[in-house]
Structure 1
Amino acid sequence: MDNKLPTLKEIARRLKFSVSTVSRALHDHPSIGLRTKMQVKQLAKELNYEPNQTALFFKQQKTHTIGVILPNLKEEFFSQAINGIEDVAKINKYSVLIGQSHDDIDQEKQIAIAMKNQRVDGLIVSISKHTKNYDHFISLRKYNIPVVFFDRVPDLPTVHKVASNFNTGTKQAIEFLITKGHRRIGVINGPEEMKSSKERIITYMEVLQKKRIKIDLSLIVTTDLTQVKTFEAMKNLLDLKYPPTAILTINDYVALDAIQYARKSKLKINKDISFVSYANLPIINYLEFPPLASVEQYPYEQAKKATEILFDLFNADNIPDEEEKKYHNILIEGQLIIHKK
């Protein structure tokens, strides 16, 4: 019973009752005796029977609704992503339900359960920065609810995902700073559990080694993406005996906080210290002191492709056994956009 939902028929077979008797017992029908009700409910509890979310419903019916779970809609990146999702959904005459995890793993789990209970046909997900275990998404398979991840994706081979190629973007960013004469290049990275954080550091080190620049691990700091932690990261970097002359930040929002701290420290932006970031949000074009450059990650295209994959999964005539399934793993190349020369 691990991979299949228990059914009324299964309960009826085990207790040697009719399906209609089991159904009435679960609904406390007055025609069913107390002993029978207790037997049925006890076995249903043992089997984790869910009367309103049976596998049969998900296999044979569609709600024409997809769910979307994102870290935070106030970020322009995810607002652009929603546009990509909704454009594909509109073409397919589907509605979209949106939930925000606010980077809270418990909230993410609750939303996943709520989406399941709302009987969405599938999910598009960008995981929280703290998500390490993915059971709350993997478990949706037994309900025949496919999940496609984008941007922040699990480091697993057995999931469908679309992401930006961090290796390419990071390589372009570091090489760009080196051409500008920088040798002390710092990194304000994201939480260690994020797949992109690991990829960023690996590529950072590879580029420095290739360019024969000494790697100094004290130049690598982390933030949980809040302003407080980013300020702490900046303080750690600037307090070094030999502080960085340039810093690569995990995203544009972190770059803005880092730039603010640098200015409070009386440093001239892009003269005393330079910044390169990720995302290339539209707000960058309106800043007096923008990062030198930003890696465009194409959130609209990422989310659009993820949604197209989801509808492909809906339309698949034959879904192979789990061990035979081919999982989508799409990488979208980033592009370094120069803001100020």
Structure 2
Amino acid sequence: MQTDKPATIKEIARKLKISTSTVSRALNNHPSIGLITTERVKQMAKELQYEPNQTAIFFKQRKTFTIGVIVPYLAEPFFADAIGSIEQYANEKDYTVILSQSFDDEMRELKIIQTFKRHRVDGVLISLSKSTTDFTFIDTLRQAKIPVVFFDRVPKRTDVHRVFSDLSTGMREAIEAFVNRGHQNIALINGPDTMIASQERLSSFQDAMKQHNLPLNKNYIVSTDLFADSNEQAMETLINLPDRPSAVIAFNDMVTLDVMRYLRTKGLVLNQDFFFISFANYPGWEYIDNPPMGSIEQYPRKQGLRAAEILFEAIEQKEVLAAQTVVFPSKLALT
């Protein structure tokens, strides 16, 4: 007679006429248990469709074998690539990854972190939302002994684990590429002023322009909240300037995609009326007939992998791991 009641170690032990401790050790490949006994136990477990009691395992090892990952948008190719590396590495460690997206909203991001904490994930990887300014959750996770590693969009503090890309190298190469093609009037469509990533782009842009002795026209620096209508509005501002720029650095490839669509509605031609270089190196550019002039590679796979390596090092370390900062130089990729 079949029953829906799950099989237990006691049931396996009773059928094989051995102790429950022997069954437990055999299921965990303990060296004190002989090969024949181990095989008998595993075969019986298979026949009874035995599944380990995860709650008991978690309680004993004080681990849930899960990590939480928060990114602004799962659909963005950059984050999809980073997550691919993270999941692959976590799988090698026999961990499950719980994915969530903040939709670039600080309050949603905080709720996700609180949920991860309640469910006792063993660690958290975060790429911050564009609006995040409150970092008190870092201390909350520390008190709960849940390590956290930031990647790509990281806080401006050195007491936390951070993995990100140095945007200045790619920016210098982008400005140089424009200059070599005769462009002097170069604009920047930046992200929200509150974002550290926006501040880094602006600083790198200003430095690169000065290195080439190019004038900094404040009208050529516009901001967007990274939503489509705001991206289009930023481009419209540049189009309507009496002495409009011929070349544009965009915050990322998603901004460029929105702007490309907008230019077509205005009868303007990419790589003729305006030339673009943006960040993230969108893999889809190779499938577009008239792609932007270039994109700046930020190495999402490398960032994701290194962030995961640091997180698992922190999880496995008995003592608190000293804060690590890993920086990958960005690089211009011409299309």
TM-score normalised to structure 2 length = 0.80
CA drift at 1:71: 0.7
CA drift at 1:247: 0.5
Task: Call closer, same or farther: CA 1:181–1:125 in 2, change over 3 Å.
Answer: same
CA drift at 1:105: 1.0
2:205 corresponds in structure 1 to: 204
Amino acid at match of 1:125: I
Residue 163 (structure 2) pairs with residue 162 (structure 1): yes
CA drift at 1:59: 11
Instruction: Verify the 8 A CA contact 2:106 2:131 in the aligned structure 1.
Output: yes
Q: Distance in 2 between matches of 1:163 and 1:211?
A: 26
SS of structure 2 residue aligned to 1:201: helix
Task: Call closer, same or farther: CA 1:59–1:305 in 2, change over 3 Å.
Answer: farther
Structure 1: segments with no counterpart, 5+ residues: 1-56, 320-324
Cα displacement string for residues 53-91 of structure 1 (whole angstroms, at most 9, x for unaligned residues):
xxxx99961111101111111111111111111111011
Residue 331 (structure 2) pairs with residue 335 (structure 1): yes
Q: Distance in 2 between matches of 1:116 and 1:59?
A: 19
Amino acid at match of 2:330: G
Q: Distance in 2 between matches of 1:138 and 1:220?
A: 36
Residue 127 (structure 2) pairs with residue 126 (structure 1): yes
Q: Distance in 1 between matches of 2:89 and 2:108?
A: 26
CA drift at 1:134: 1.1
1:191 corresponds in structure 2 to: 192
CA drift at 1:165: 0.9
2:251 corresponds in structure 1 to: 250
Q: Distance in 1 between matches of 2:174 and 2:158?
A: 27
CA drift at 1:327: 1.3
CA drift at 1:289: 2.4
Instruction: Verify the 8 A CA contact 1:164 1:333 in the aligned structure 2.
Output: yes
1:172 corresponds in structure 2 to: 173
Cα displacement string for residues 37-56 of structure 1 (whole angstroms, at most 9, x for unaligned residues):
xxxxxxxxxxxxxxxxxxxx
Instruction: Tell me which structure has the larger Cα radius of gyration.
Output: 2
1:76-95 → structure 2 map (5 Å cutoff)? 76-95=77-96
Instruction: Verify the 8 A CA contact 2:168 2:330 in the aligned structure 1.
Output: no
Q: Distance in 1 between matches of 2:139 and 2:290?
A: 44
CA drift at 1:318: 2.8
Q: Distance in 2 between matches of 1:287 and 1:263?
A: 14
Q: Distance in 2 between matches of 1:128 and 1:194?
A: 9
Q: How many residue pairs align between the two structures?
A: 278
CA drift at 1:138: 2.9
206-215 vs 248-257, which deviates more?
206-215
Q: Distance in 2 between matches of 1:138 and 1:68?
A: 18
Q: Distance in 1 between matches of 2:293 and 2:115?
A: 43
Cα displacement string for residues 274-308 of structure 1 (whole angstroms, at most 9, x for unaligned residues):
00011111111111221100011111110110000
Q: Distance in 2 between matches of 1:137 and 1:180?
A: 46
Q: Distance in 2 between matches of 1:297 and 1:138?
A: 29
Amino acid at match of 1:337: A
Instruction: Verify the 8 A CA contact 1:58 1:144 in the aligned structure 2.
Output: no
SS of structure 1 residue aligned to 2:307: helix
Instruction: Verify the 8 A CA contact 1:166 1:200 in the aligned structure 2.
Output: yes
Aligned-pair Cα RMSD in Å:
1.6
Identical positions, percent: 40
Q: Distance in 2 between matches of 1:262 and 1:186?
A: 16
Amino acid at match of 1:332: F
Q: Distance in 1 between matches of 2:88 and 2:220?
A: 42
Instruction: Verify the 8 A CA contact 1:108 1:128 in the aligned structure 2.
Output: yes
Instruction: Verify the 8 A CA contact 1:58 1:145 in the aligned structure 2.
Output: no
SS of structure 2 residue aligned to 1:243: coil
CA drift at 1:240: 0.9
Instruction: Verify the 8 A CA contact 1:284 1:290 in the aligned structure 2.
Output: yes
1:1-341 → structure 2 map (5 Å cutoff)? 61-319=62-320, 326-339=322-335
SS of structure 2 residue aligned to 1:155: coil
Structure 2: segments with no counterpart, 5+ residues: 1-57
- Give runs of ≥4 in structure 1 deviating > 4 Å: 57-60
